[in-house]
Every structure is written in C-alpha cells, then in structure tokens.
C-alpha cells in the first residue's frame, strides 16, 4: 500500500472554545487523522489538569493520534524554572504518546541580548533539550517565529544551532508556512523538518513583516503566502509527516461549526499534492 504523502492534523486553535469531544469530532469530520494539543488554552485540556493518560484515551477513542503538544514557550532562555517546566512537559508528552513538543522562542522587543548572546543561549537550551528528548523519546520541534521582538526568526539559524549541538533527530524544525513567508525565508532544510503548520493570509494591505497572528485563517485561493506551493516543495523534498492547520483569526475561533471551511481548506491543499 502506498504511504500517504502527508497526514492532516488540526491545532487546538482551530476551535479553542469547543469541549474536547466536540473538537475531536471536528477533526474527524474534516478528514484529519491527528490533533495538536495546547497547554495554553484556559479551561481546556490539559491546562484544566487532565492527566496524560485520560487525554490519550479520549483521543484514541476518537480514532485519532496526537501530532504534538504546543508549546514550550521561551525555550531559548534556559533557567532553572524553564528546565523544570520542560522536564514536566516532556514527561507528559511521553505518557500522552505525542511524538514531539513545539518550542517557541522568547518574544520581547526589549530583550537586550546581542546576536552573540542569543546564539549562545540558543545552543545552551538545545543541549539541555536534546538530553530530555533523548531520554523521553519525545522530539523537540524548534519553531522560528517571525514577529517583531522574536529572538529566533529564521530557519537557517535554527538549523545551524541544531547542527552545532549534534541534535538532528531529537531536535527538529517546526516549519510554519506563515512564519516562513513573514520572515522572507529562502532556504529549505528538509532533513530537519519534523512538523508543518499551515494557515492562510488573505489581506494584501500589509508588508509580510507587518502581518500578525490574528491575520491567519484557513488556506484557500485567496492566500498570498503560497502555502500550497510551500507544501508542495516540502513534500517533494521528502517530508512525510503531519501538516497541521493553525489559524488564529478570532472570527474562526467564534465559529459554532468550522467543519465545512476546514474541510474545504484541506481539499484545497490536497490539490497541490
């Protein structure tokens, strides 16, 4: 049987207001095979205290898998508190059966660190996370973010740092099509891509670097970021993992039923594969 090129997943941000069972049903209806769990949605799993065992059972009973946990924030500012947080999150992910954890950099316009200091802090963090990842079998997905104040914007910086700590395998890149466009990234690192986030941008009145998270919707023909083309190149380079829809448009979050536009978005993306 031919291995499918990719498997679609949905991030919890597709429908953060829905109770867990309704969210899982939405994923099934739209044709997704997995979900990304978030630890920052108040009142929802697992911020509500749900155990990894219970959450794993609920997801499995729905016939779905876990694509990732999202996220370890400020991962490149390694402190005793961050180390404790990371260990608890990696242990939780291992019990949940999540293949990896998305890791987001510090976002702070006034961080005050030089490029040399940022490079050193990034490598210090990746060394520690590599050990955690190797110990738990849970991958650390490094996600460069393109907004102002981000301390890790471009994929080539992440790739270089992963190479410097000999971290390929336990450490991989979360490729976000919006962030790639917003940062005007050019180079692809297919051997390091472990997870892909997709979303669509339809507004044309802003430069890429001026776009913000709430501008991110479902992907359709109005998308200006060439998400479909990016996905086609990623798959052509050999990627065979999850492609997860991650919109932040408040209008989407307020939908009572997002199954139709979500299904149409997945169908649109399949046209590039």
Domain holding 173, by residue range, is 7-239
Helices (H), 16-111: 20-30, 52-61, 80-96
Average pLDDT in the 256-266 region? 97
Residue 18 makes CB contacts below 8 A (sequence gap 6+) with: 26
Q: Do residues 211 and 183 make contact, with C-beta atoms less than 8 angstroms apart? A: no
Q: pLDDT at position 2, please?
A: 45
Backbone angles phi, psi at 61, to 5 degrees: -65, -25
DSSP characters for 174-220?
Answer: EEEHHHHHHTT-----GGGEEEEEE-B----SS-GGG--GGG-B---
Q: Do residues 138 and 168 make contact, with C-beta atoms less than 8 angstroms apart? A: no
Number of folded domains in the chain? Answer: 1
pLDDT in tens, 214-255: 999 999 999 999 999 999 999 999 999 999 999 999 999 999
Tokens encoding 3: 């291995």
**260 located within any domain:** no
Q: How big is the chain, counted in residues?
A: 273
Backbone angles phi, psi at 102, to 5 degrees: -70, 135
CATH of the domain at 194: 3.20.20.150
**CA–CA separation, 219 and 85 (whole Å):** 34
| Per-residue pLDDT at 188 exceeds 90 | yes
State which H helix or E strand residue 95 sits in.
Answer: helix 80-96
Round to the nearest angstrom and report the end-to-end CA distance of the chain. 18
Tell me how far CA of residue 85 lies from CA of 89, 94, 212, 222, 230, in angstroms: 6, 14, 27, 40, 33
Q: pLDDT at position 57, please?
A: 98
Tokens encoding 35: 């979900």
Average pLDDT in the 197-224 region? 96
**CA–CA separation, 219 and 238 (whole Å):** 22
**CA–CA separation, 36 and 127 (whole Å):** 25
Give the strand pairing for 193-198 and 242-245.
Answer: parallel
Q: pLDDT at position 4, please?
A: 56
Tokens encoding 105: 């950099």
**196 located within any domain:** yes
**261 located within any domain:** no
**248 located within any domain:** no
**257 located within any domain:** no
Query: Using CA of residue 95, residue 96, residue 101, residue 107, what is the dihedral sign?
Result: negative
**12 located within any domain:** yes
Average pLDDT in the 60-84 region? 98
Average pLDDT in the 57-66 region? 98
Q: pLDDT at position 3, please?
A: 46
**101 located within any domain:** yes
């Amino acid at each position: 049987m031919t291995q499918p090129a990719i498997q679609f997943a949905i991030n919890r941000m597709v429908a953060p207001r829905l109770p867990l069972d309704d969210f899982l049903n939405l994923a099934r209806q739209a044709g997704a095979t997995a979900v990304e769990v978030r630890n920052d949605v108040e009142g929802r799993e697992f911020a509500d205290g749900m155990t990894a065992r219970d959450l794993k059972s609920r997801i499995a009973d729905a016939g779905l898998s876990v694509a990732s946990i999202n996220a370890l924030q400020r991962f490149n500012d390694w402190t005793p508190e961050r180390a404790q947080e990371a260990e608890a999150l990696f242990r939780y992910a291992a019990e949940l059966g999540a293949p990896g954890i998305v890791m987001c950099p510090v976002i702070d316009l006034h961080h005050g660190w030089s490029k040399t200091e940022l490079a050193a802090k990034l490598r210090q963090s990746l060394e520690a996370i590599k050990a955690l990842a190797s110990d738990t079998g849970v991958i650390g997905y490094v996600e460069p973010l393109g907004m102002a104040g981000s301390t890790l914007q471009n994929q080539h910086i992440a790739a270089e740092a992963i190479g410097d700590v000999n971290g390929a395998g336990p450490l991989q890149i979360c490729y976000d099509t919006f962030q790639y466009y917003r940062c005007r990234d050019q180079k692809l690192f297919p051997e390091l891509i472990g997870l892909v986030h997709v979303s669509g941008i339809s507004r044309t009145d802003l430069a890429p670097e001026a776009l913000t998270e709430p501008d991110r919707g479902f992907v359709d023909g109005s998308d200006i970021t060439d998400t479909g083309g990016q996905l086609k190149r990623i798959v052509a380079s050999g990627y065979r993992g999850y492609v997860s829809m991650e919109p932040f448009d408040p209008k989407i979050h307020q939908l009572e039923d997002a199954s139709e536009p979500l299904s149409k978005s997945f169908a649109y993306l399949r046209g590039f594969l």
